[in-house]
Structure 1
Amino acid sequence: MTTAEFADAQVLSEGSPALDDAWVRQLAQEHYGIDGEMKPLTGERDRNYRFERATDGARFMLKISHPAETALVADFQTQALLHLAATDPGLPVQRIVPTQGGAASFVCDPGDGLPRVVRLFTYLPGLPLPEAPRTPLQQQNLARMLARLDLALAGFEHPAGELPLPWDLQRADSVRGLLAHIAEPERRALAAAALDRFERDAKPVLRTLPAQPIHNDFNIYNVLVDPADTDRIAAILDFGDMVRAPCINDLAVAAAYQAGTDGDPLAAIVPLVAAYHAVRPLSPAEVGVLFDLITARLVMVVAISGWRAARYPENAPYLLRNNPLSWARLQACERVGTAAATAALRRAVNL
């Protein structure tokens, strides 16, 4: 993916055009027979609405996709959820609610000439993970749930899985052209060095590793926990960044958001990897590239957000809100180094 293609793809990160509430209500009533309280929800790309059915209080989420998102990409997410419902019904992910005619989704035009894909999902309650106390057991459960999700997605295929995606870790070097937006020379050099290691040591190996559709964004903001038992994972959200990629990338993304910023960044990563390995065993080759994938993901976070902030300065404070933490994690990982980190990860999984 070139920098120009990357820029075009990032247009999808801009908000979807506003929709008339009355039109949305009519849509829900006509296609799903739902009449009740409606509340708009936040969404990076799509228009999302929570409905509470008047007859029984059941809650649902209506998703109206961004008009720039193709029906093929939307179907990738839809079919993945249908696959998960069949292969592991106990996984805490949203379920597709069919229309009154039995369709998993349909296309509508609100009158602006821009067709959109519409789907209805079950609504999953829970406490956002960042708002919950953190414990070792919670972290282990998080890793086990990700491993279980990856196992459940094994065997699933979809043509959209091969489409270019800005957040595809196996193409982390595509953000190299965005490093120019990093003002500080020291930070720019740090990010470039991490991408160098990725290109030299990890990328050639990735082509040999087991690949499948993966969630690709298993960060703490896409996980809910049970408010009454915050060690229990209650929901996995947002399958909008799915891609077909080496399975180890899913663990690398999750681990990137667990790295500590003070002292040893591996203190949180090592038990996460060990817990994942207990459910979905890792190969020596996967463990060998994991740390370089973690740092590459952190570079993607700071590079993409920095580029977007330069492109949309009016939204810079929001776009850069997580950058200080990501930089601190990247700097902490750099102090450890790939060799020492990989040795620690190998010991954790007895490889």
Structure 2
Amino acid sequence: MPAPDDPLGPILNVPPPALTEAECLAAVAAHWGIDGRLEPLTSERDLNFRLRTGQGDFVLKVVNAAEDAGVTEFQTLALDHIAARDPGLPVPRAIRTRAGAASVLLEGGNRMRLLSWVEGVPMHRAAPSAALRRAMGTMAAGLTRALEGFDHPAARHVLQWDIKHASRLRPLLPAIADADLRALCTRWLDRFDTHVAPRLPGLPWQVVHADLNPHNVLTVPDDPARISGVLDFGDMVFTPRICDLAVAAAYQLDPADAESSIAQVAEGWASILPLSPDEAALLRDLTAIRMVTTLAITSHRAARQPGNAPYILRNFPGARAGLLALPCPD
């Protein structure tokens, strides 16, 4: 269990639920009336499967018992809002049970959800390109626009991945083994505290996806510069709108041409949601802070969950290379 003062709290420190496939299939049959077979999917804190059935494929999620039920409801209602606001956006749909419920409480405190399956090739397998970066920015802005006007009490839950909480990362920095990288992260957090955080209240705020990493975005198989889907709404929060662009840019950053790659993602975003002068001025900083967040959280969690370390650290090399390519202003 995490220490009481661990900034990650229980939700990012507990292991995923431990249910057998037979138990999961029995619950799906009982509540959704669907039979099929399961294929495991990776997850940071939940237990996920691809459910193959004669009625098509679905995503079966067993939500960690450490997650508040309100947060689960928040995610479901957000998907409903997107479907109503922009039904053409390629995101999952929440599948209700035969009783009309969006989730089912299981013995032991975990909740089970069923989502529609979205086809595509994970973006991390696609070749990077300027066209893909612009497409990522366009999709991110379209999704953010579709979430406009949506709110929920759980939207303000505290999740350390949320860039606005970057100041709370400092206790995690000792887990970064490379002393030079640790020092660079410290300098960026110093800059965040003095130059960035004071300006965040004046920006436009709303609910955003907040985790547009290449494992959560799908591309078209025969056209990797086109995006076919966005997955995993588990990190949604109410935060400055520009943070969603910064997250997307952090994962699209080309260390060989860092500034241009950020600009390409921003160009796609601005075609849907024009940036305010303050948003544009803070984008580079917030992009760097997202990479600091990735380095700090993944280092901290991998040390505590060595069995899941390969999955936890999958974005560490890219964040390290990207941050090294962005000099921190004095």
Task: With the length of structure 1 as denominator, give the TM-score of the two structures.
Answer: 0.88
Work out which of the residue numbers 250, 263, 272 in structure 2 matches 1:270: 263
Question: 2:286: which partner in 1?
Answer: 293
Question: 2:69: which partner in 1?
Answer: 71
Query: Within 5 A, what are the aligned runs for 1:213-224?
Result: 213-224=207-218
Q: Deviations over 1:52-107 (max 9, x none)?
A: 223x4x11112111111111111111111011111110110000111112222222
Question: 2:90: which partner in 1?
Answer: 92
Q: Using a 3 Å threshold, how does the CA distance of structure 1 residues 319 and 59 change in structure 2: closer, same or farther?
A: closer
Question: 2:15: which partner in 1?
Answer: 15
Work out which of the residue numbers 125, 131, 135 in structure 2 matches 1:131: 125
Q: Using a 3 Å threshold, how does the CA distance of structure 1 residues 319 and 38 change in structure 2: closer, same or farther?
A: closer
3-state SS, counterpart of residue 39 of structure 1: strand
Residues 17, 110 of structure 2: 8 Å contact kept: no
Work out which of the residue numbers 174, 178, 199 in structure 2 matches 1:180: 174
Measured after TM superposition, the shift of residue 3 of structure 1 is 8.7
Deviates more, 1:38-47 or 1:281-290: 38-47
Question: 1:158: which partner in 2?
Answer: 152
CA–CA distance in 2 between the matches of 1:327 and 1:16?
A: 26
Question: 2:7: which partner in 1?
Answer: 6
Query: Within 5 A, what are the aligned runs for 1:232-251?
Result: 232-251=226-245
CA–CA distance in 1 between the matches of 2:242 and 2:8?
A: 26
2:109 aligned with 1:115 = yes
3-state SS, counterpart of residue 50 of structure 2: strand
Q: Using a 3 Å threshold, how does the CA distance of structure 1 residues 195 and 88 change in structure 2: closer, same or farther?
A: same
Measured after TM superposition, the shift of residue 13 of structure 1 is 4.5
Q: Deviations over 1:176-233 (max 9, x none)?
A: 1222233443222211111111111111110111111111111111101111222221
Q: Deviations over 1:247-300 (max 9, x none)?
A: 0000011111122223x3112111111111111011001111111111111111
Deviates more, 1:183-192 or 1:209-218: 183-192
CA–CA distance in 1 between the matches of 2:42 and 2:303?
A: 23
Residues 214, 243 of structure 1: 8 Å contact kept: yes
Output the amino acid matched with 1:32. W
CA RMSD of aligned residues (A): 2.0
Measured after TM superposition, the shift of residue 314 of structure 1 is 5.3
CA–CA distance in 1 between the matches of 2:310 and 2:45?
A: 18
Per residue, is there more helix in 1 or in 2? 1
Measured after TM superposition, the shift of residue 153 of structure 1 is 0.4
Q: Deviations over 1:295-316 (max 9, x none)?
A: 1111111111222233345555
2:189 aligned with 1:195 = yes
CA–CA distance in 2 between the matches of 1:207 and 1:143?
A: 23
CA–CA distance in 1 between the matches of 2:45 and 2:115?
A: 17
Structure of higher CA gyration radius: 1
CA–CA distance in 1 between the matches of 2:179 and 2:62?
A: 42
Q: Using a 3 Å threshold, how does the CA distance of structure 1 residues 135 and 124 change in structure 2: closer, same or farther?
A: same
Gaps of at least 5 residues in structure 1 are: 340-351
Residues 201, 289 of structure 1: 8 Å contact kept: no
Residues 39, 49 of structure 1: 8 Å contact kept: yes
Residues 17, 62 of structure 2: 8 Å contact kept: no
Output the amino acid matched with 2:122. P
Equivalent residue pairs, number: 328
Query: Within 5 A, what are the aligned runs for 1:289-328?
Result: 289-313=282-306, 315-316=308-309, 318-328=311-321
Question: 2:104: which partner in 1?
Answer: 106
CA–CA distance in 1 between the matches of 2:17 and 2:272?
A: 42
What percent of counterpart residues are identical? 42
Q: Using a 3 Å threshold, how does the CA distance of structure 1 residues 316 and 149 change in structure 2: closer, same or farther?
A: closer
CA–CA distance in 1 between the matches of 2:320 and 2:12?
A: 25
